[in-house]
Structure 1
Amino acid sequence: MADCCCPPPLNLRKPEESAALKRVLWAVLGINAVMFLVEVGAGLAAGSASLQADAMDFLGDAANYGISLFVVGMAIHYRASAALLKGATMGAFGLWVIGTAIWHAFHGTLPSAFTMGVVGIAALIANAASFGLLWTYRHNDANMRSAWICTRNDVFGNLAVLLAALGVLGTGRGWPDIIVAAIMAGLALQGAGTVIGQSLGELRTSSVSAE
């Protein structure tokens, strides 16, 4: 077929494309850094496992976007290596959230539904903006795809936090918050598997090309 849906070889990325990527990554890095500060305070004050999990997710994403900025314009081998590192951190985040959810379940924490709702809406708006900025690059290399997957998972997580707030408000119990935290952990682990798989494939490809 004359037409191909595949992107061009990413190790030949043009300078203007790298500049555009950097602008997008700086924007989403700033959004995630600010929301981490907002959510970590609100999550601790509200006693919400899902808000604390979401706050750590914002921190992890900000660090991941920083890594992405560092490797933009580099050879595919370095970008794939960075994506592999980010995939590993996504997996670690998922395991951390599971531990947090277990702790709150054991202690019977009752979070503030009002705080969860207000902060959840703010986080959803922030992640929706990041999602829109990264949409163009969702089928790019493993490095940029990992950034988009992180933000996609965050949007789902924010919607789940809002559902948890309604559940806590309606039942007067903390289980909806725990359930949402567990779902967020599952999303992180699923995303980690996807990113790690693609980055390993790109590393193998780059190794073969170098021979």
Structure 2
Amino acid sequence: MACCCTPEPPKQNHSYPAKFKIALWIALIINLSLFIVEVIAGIYAHSSSLWADALDFAGDSMNYAISLAVLGMSLYWRATVALLKGVTMASFGIFVLIKMCYAYMLGIVPEAITMGMIGILALFANVICALILYAFRDGDANMKSVWLCSRNDAIGNIALIFAAIGVFGTNSIYPDLLVALIMAVLGISAGYTVIKHALLERKLDKVVENKCC
């Protein structure tokens, strides 16, 4: 049976601004570069917050790559991929909580100068990504997820800088652990938001499809 609906909704589902694709490529390259930098710095500085941020950069890189891959697909499949990304974001948050507990048991005070320098570099990179993606923050779950990734990273980097100052001033591991906790909560919260939005879009797409057929 031919679809009785107008062709406009599917057209909207498949259409993305060309600027969004360019923004995703820029964000992908920046995040991959910072992931490598922070992994090395995290090992050197024994910092949980740097490791948390590096893991976040890795997750964001995967999210941007997946987003680029599904841009031409239907709303249902874009929402399905966004659902996977939401689960990944929340899972990374849980992993950071586990890593934080392990670091607490070891009790090694991180190297504050390295934390601060990398934190400033990462903040600069994430502010660029956040500004580039800001215009797409109110789009579908796929677009919303990439905006939330960059926003959370920028917030996390500011916290990372304060953690470095705290570690330097107190010679204690606790400022580092506190920032790791904040970043974990941000990841879990953003993941929940994306999951909820993606499930709603999948349900909406099914309703439209049933009406059409």
TM-score by length of 2: 0.92
Identity over aligned residues, as a percent? 45
Aligned counterparts of 1:172 and 1:111: Cα–Cα separation in 2: 8
Deviation at 1:68, TM superposition (A): 0.2
The change in CA–CA distance for 1:10 and 1:50 in structure 2 (over 3 A counts) is farther
Gap runs ≥5 in structure 1: 1-7
Larger radius of gyration: 2
Aligned counterparts of 1:19 and 1:133: Cα–Cα separation in 2: 13
Is residue 54 from structure 1 mapped to residue 53 from structure 2 by the alignment?
yes
Q: How does 1:125-164 map to 2 (within 5 A)?
A: 125-164=124-163
Q: How does 1:32-181 map to 2 (within 5 A)?
A: 32-181=31-180
Aligned counterparts of 2:66 and 2:145: Cα–Cα separation in 1: 11
Deviation at 1:73, TM superposition (A): 2.4
8 A contact 2:93–2:187 mirrored in 1: yes
8 A contact 1:83–1:199 mirrored in 2: yes
8 A contact 1:90–1:192 mirrored in 2: yes
Q: What does residue 5 of structure 1 align with?
A: none
The change in CA–CA distance for 1:158 and 1:11 in structure 2 (over 3 A counts) is farther
Is residue 12 from structure 1 mapped to residue 7 from structure 2 by the alignment?
no
Aligned counterparts of 2:203 and 2:13: Cα–Cα separation in 1: 19
8 A contact 1:21–1:72 mirrored in 2: no
The change in CA–CA distance for 1:11 and 1:157 in structure 2 (over 3 A counts) is farther
2:87 partner letter: A
The change in CA–CA distance for 1:153 and 1:210 in structure 2 (over 3 A counts) is same
1:46 partner letter: A
Deviation at 1:14, TM superposition (A): 6.8
The C-alpha deviation readout for 1:156-203, integer Å capped at 9, x for no partner, is: 100010010010001011110001101100000000110000000000
8 A contact 2:93–2:184 mirrored in 1: yes
Deviation at 1:22, TM superposition (A): 1.4
8 A contact 2:144–2:194 mirrored in 1: yes
Q: Indicate the SS of the match to 1:111.
A: coil
Aligned counterparts of 2:142 and 2:11: Cα–Cα separation in 1: 12
Q: How many residues align?
A: 203
8 A contact 2:14–2:71 mirrored in 1: no
Deviation at 1:110, TM superposition (A): 0.5
8 A contact 1:127–1:155 mirrored in 2: yes
Q: What does residue 210 of structure 1 align with?
A: 209
Aligned counterparts of 2:155 and 2:56: Cα–Cα separation in 1: 12
The list of structure 1 runs, each at least 4 consecutive aligned residues, that deviate by more than 6 angstroms after superposition, is none
Aligned counterparts of 1:197 and 1:19: Cα–Cα separation in 2: 27
Q: CA RMSD in A?
A: 1.4
